[in-house]
Structure 1
Amino acid sequence: MKAAARKICGMTSPHSTATTTAPVHLTPELVEDPVGAYAEFRAQDQLPQVVLPGLTTPVRLVTRYADVKAALAEPRLIRDRSKVPGGAGGGDPQAELVEAAFEGFPAEYAKYVAGHLALFDGEDHARRRAPLTRAFTARRIAALRSFVERTAEDLIRGLTEKGEADLLGEFAYPLTTVVICELVGVDEADRGRVCDWIRDFAYGDGSRMADGLVGIVDYVKELIARRRAEPTDDLISALIEGGGDSKGGDSKGSDGDEAFTEDELVSVVFLLISTGITPPALFLAHALLALFDHPDQLAQLRAEPELLGRAVPELLRYVTLVRIGASMYATEDFEFAGTALRKGEPVTVALLAANHDPREYGEAPERLDITREFGRGDGHLAFGHGAHYCLGAALGRLVASVVFDQVLIRRPGAALAVRRDELEFGHWPADGFHLLRLPVRL
């Protein structure tokens, strides 16, 4: 991502100028406002056309909960634009986003970013995802609980001795790094370097983004070679075994999967590490901030720790870290959510809007309520829906419950160390604002 795209900004009041005749140019403030323009969009008969922050190509934006859920399961909306029958004309917001984020990257490394699972469909997506699904087992995740608890406790104890800490940079990032590295199979001695590379790649000021990508990709290649030579009980070894070893000449893995090519295997491991560190770290920071912003809810959680099981899904809904989903493209002309879509037309979903839809959550869905009861399933769309449902959902819930217990319930004095208006935020193309630091007194 170019440094220029990462702006440090204060928050301003959003204003909507939504119409049905011209695209609405969304700002980062509008993207992350759960009410604002989304309320107007949900009330419209047709899907609005919007231009996401930092881009120029209009997309149809889906905002109602039921429509978002339907869009994520609609087979006529695909992620891979090249698979639109007969080709798709017009602008491509996904390509525009990639260009804005990764301009100037070495081609031999940028291809690993393009191998993101979210950009594939159908059999191609299923082939890449199947070995991950079997490797990301409930048993493997459940076995991590005691490790997560020990790691979080050790980290927060050390920070408590200092009296004040940045809970994003000094706690959430190291914790999510250690947890995903333990699952994937990154050696303990290498985890500090991996954290630094991922932060440079995904969350620095942009100046070292290419260096971060080169560092982590080269490391992943080396680690895969080591696990091929000496397999262990980790996820990389399971992927090599279950997804086939194309370097060894096998076309099938032990589970009958088509073998990953070397580039695909590197892409998958890189994806697991990068998405296993930055998004959950940011969610933890934003969820902690949400509770600091709602002292009544924080006091209730501290008084009734048994509410933790409800607080985690409610905070996932309330924060919805991924506000806007990946672009999808209509494979044919058809009507969706009252709108006549043209073949090749880009569509995207506003997950934050869906998770604050009054039709689904009743009055004042913008209110944080840790006693909220959800129905069957997640009760929210923070992890997506359908074939692209987040593989790390169970791990994310586990880590969140441990963190809220360790940081807030067991440390009733934890509080923001600065005034709320002194917090610093940055924003990315097509996205809203994210915390850069979370200073907390412990």
Structure 2
Amino acid sequence: MTSHTAAGPASTGSCPVHLTPGLVEDPVGAYADFRSREELPEVVLPGLTTPVRLVTRYADVKAALTEPRLVRDRSRVPGGADGADPQAELVEAALGGFPAEYVRYVSGHLALLDGPEHARLRTPLTRAFTARRIAALQSFVERTAEDLLRGLAERGEADLLGEFAYPLATVVVCELVGVDEPDRDRVCAWIHDFAYGDGSRTVDGLVGIVEYTKELIARRRAEPTEDLVSALIGAGRDGGEPLTEDELVSVVFLLISTGITPPALFLAHAVLALFDHPEQLAALRSDPALLERAVPELLRHVSLVRIGASLYATEDFEFAGTALRKGETVTVALLAADHDPREYGRAPERLDVSRKFGRGEDHLAFGHGAHYCLGAALGRLVTSVVLDRVLIRRPDTALAVRRDDLEFGHWPGDGFHLLRLPVRF
């Protein structure tokens, strides 16, 4: 078992603090100290070597995510940026073993673009991600979740992450994209190999998805349907600049990379959070109407993406009490912001399924500003369905192992994530 106990900060002086995965995922721990400092702390994220300035206060994180002098594309820093690049370290760690001709589909990520180029690629996706299209998925999500759970419940015990959350997220993305029914099994198998398998067939999964997506694009150009790929192809007919085939393939990969592993892990961690707070689970089960409040509260409480993308200063300027130098790297701690006492009052680490949020979205689990998560509405829908089907309609669902026996892993730059979530029904 991998421990997820956090230690204290490695340093409080001028030397960078080397964060461990435990520190990154601890909503109190070092973040309380960081938030109290006048200047942004300089830290090294787990598994990396390059220091960054870490933004931890809620108001400062929101400001950073809309600050035009902080960009995601390092090449846009006037005159270039010197020194090592933490974002490049992360990309190398994730994609270093992939064939070069396929890496561009995975690394050409909207999250790493800015300004007009980001808007050009995001606009047709935003138009295709309509509220009507998401609402139309509800019955499909409900039916798929119930079908998966029925088989698992008959066994009496299952891994809620590997046998439910991952397959559910995969099938939902296939439905959204428009993978034809006869192709679902093999495409889902490639996605499994690429996104959450044991790593032995990752490249095979990548190649399979790319080549299939090219075939699907060709089919939809000839015969459009009501799916997302057809909508993206059609966006160029509405006066916008059409996406190239490479850009369309990259968008499908964006949906796979952000629409499967993070949501599946969030669902597992959200269920675990309710197991960890039995009084809150009991309240939700006794009053299912609380589900509407419980979903945003769990998004805030878990904040699965603990650390955001790297941001680079395009000039010397002062931000959050800190004199930033041109080219200096800043990153945001979304989990820290979502547990800021200035925003959430005393004991923000406490889960409260009755917490009242304002009219807007009062958490940063989906980010903020131009890079706000496109799949937020779908994420909220799926979360509601899962909590209802797994915990409310099946009131005997419980953790099947001791809490201390759960296994966790982590990726470079991030905190711990569940590897399995054994439950009994």
- TM-score per shorter chain, which class? over 0.9
1:105 is aligned to 2:98: yes
What's 1:249 paired with? Answer: none
Amino acid at match of 2:194: F
What's 1:436 paired with? Answer: 419
Alpha-carbon distance in 1 for matches of 2:192, 2:330: 30
Deviation at 1:376, TM superposition (A): 2.4
What's 1:125 paired with? Answer: 118
Residues 108 and 331 of structure 1: CA distance in aligned 2, closer, same or farther (over 3 Å): same
1:222 is aligned to 2:215: yes
The answer as to whether partners of 1:423 and 1:438 remain within 8 angstroms in 2 is yes
Partner SS, residue 330 of structure 2: strand
Residues 196 and 31 of structure 1: CA distance in aligned 2, closer, same or farther (over 3 Å): farther
Q: Structure 1 residues 174-183 or 318-327, which shifts more? A: 174-183
The answer as to whether partners of 1:20 and 1:48 remain within 8 angstroms in 2 is no
Q: Structure 1 residues 199-208 or 351-360, which shifts more? A: 199-208
Deviation at 1:339, TM superposition (A): 0.2
Give CA deviations for 1:222-256 in whole Å, capped at 9, x if unaligned. Answer: 211221122111000010111xxxxxxxxxx1222
Give CA deviations for 1:22-58 in whole Å, capped at 9, x if unaligned. Answer: 1111111111110111110000000001111111010
What's 2:248 paired with? Answer: 265
Note the 1:39-438 alignment, pairs <5 A.
39-242=32-235, 253-438=236-421
Give CA deviations for 1:178-213 in whole Å, capped at 9, x if unaligned. Answer: 112111101223333333333332333433322222
CA RMSD of aligned residues (A): 1.2
Deviation at 1:20, TM superposition (A): 4.3
The answer as to whether partners of 2:195 and 2:202 remain within 8 angstroms in 1 is yes
What's 1:248 paired with? Answer: none
Q: Structure 1 residues 228-237 or 386-395, which shifts more? A: 228-237
The answer as to whether partners of 1:334 and 1:341 remain within 8 angstroms in 2 is yes
Alpha-carbon distance in 1 for matches of 2:19, 2:217: 42
Runs of 4+ with >4 A deviation: none
The answer for unaligned runs of 5 or more in structure 1 is 1-7, 243-252
Amino acid at match of 2:130: T
Amino acid at match of 1:87: G
The answer as to whether partners of 1:28 and 1:432 remain within 8 angstroms in 2 is yes
Alpha-carbon distance in 2 for matches of 1:115, 1:257: 20
Q: Structure 1 residues 160-169 or 192-201, which shifts more? A: 192-201
The answer as to whether partners of 2:6 and 2:29 remain within 8 angstroms in 1 is no
The answer as to whether partners of 2:158 and 2:424 remain within 8 angstroms in 1 is yes
Amino acid at match of 2:36: A
Alpha-carbon distance in 2 for matches of 1:265, 1:302: 43
- Number of matched residues? 425
The answer as to whether partners of 1:227 and 1:236 remain within 8 angstroms in 2 is yes
1:28 is aligned to 2:28: no
Partner SS, residue 9 of structure 1: coil
Deviation at 1:304, TM superposition (A): 0.7
Partner SS, residue 254 of structure 1: helix
The answer for unaligned runs of 5 or more in structure 2 is none
Alpha-carbon distance in 2 for matches of 1:351, 1:48: 15
Amino acid at match of 2:83: G
Alpha-carbon distance in 2 for matches of 1:121, 1:114: 15
Alpha-carbon distance in 2 for matches of 1:208, 1:56: 29
Residues 156 and 162 of structure 1: CA distance in aligned 2, closer, same or farther (over 3 Å): same
Residues 205 and 49 of structure 1: CA distance in aligned 2, closer, same or farther (over 3 Å): farther
The answer as to whether partners of 2:6 and 2:26 remain within 8 angstroms in 1 is no
Give CA deviations for 1:68-100 in whole Å, capped at 9, x if unaligned. Answer: 000000000000000111111111110111111
Give CA deviations for 1:364-406 in whole Å, capped at 9, x if unaligned. Answer: 0000000111112111000000000000000000000011000
Alpha-carbon distance in 2 for matches of 1:429, 1:93: 10
The answer as to whether partners of 1:18 and 1:41 remain within 8 angstroms in 2 is no
Alpha-carbon distance in 2 for matches of 1:439, 1:297: 20
The answer as to whether partners of 1:16 and 1:37 remain within 8 angstroms in 2 is yes
Give CA deviations for 1:291-345 in whole Å, capped at 9, x if unaligned. Answer: 0111111011000111000000000000001000000100100000000000010
Alpha-carbon distance in 1 for matches of 2:316, 2:128: 38
Amino acid at match of 1:383: F
Decide which of 3, 7, 11 is 2:4's aligned counterpart.
Answer: 11
Partner SS, residue 21 of structure 1: coil
Give CA deviations for 1:98-151 in whole Å, capped at 9, x if unaligned. Answer: 111211211101111111100000000000000001100001111111111111
Identity of aligned residues (%): 80
Q: TM-score, normalised by structure 2?
A: 0.98
The answer as to whether partners of 1:228 and 1:237 remain within 8 angstroms in 2 is yes
Amino acid at match of 2:125: L
Alpha-carbon distance in 2 for matches of 1:68, 1:125: 20
Amino acid at match of 1:219: Y
